[in-house]
Structure 1
């Protein structure tokens, strides 16, 4: 998964963001409230 910079020079990793979204969607589909899910990332642009 490749890291890159956005327009404000903040690092992001689109591949990691996509994986996190897949997991979050599966949690919601299994009955977890979206408001109970938190995704922590070291990248401000993500």
Structure 2
């Protein structure tokens, strides 16, 4: 079982890194004001 996790870990980390990278790029493009607006919209 542990071996399975060791095999999957790099894929999971890579996937998470990709998702974070996309969000960071998007955040950089829309700017702080856009992020705040989006967070409020998601919260309500």
TM-score (norm 1): 0.44
- Decide which structure has greater strand share: 1
Rg: which structure is higher?
Answer: 2
Structure number with the bigger relative contact order (C-alpha 8 A, sep ≥ 6) is: 1
Task: Calculate the TM-score normalised by the size of structure 2.
Answer: 0.45
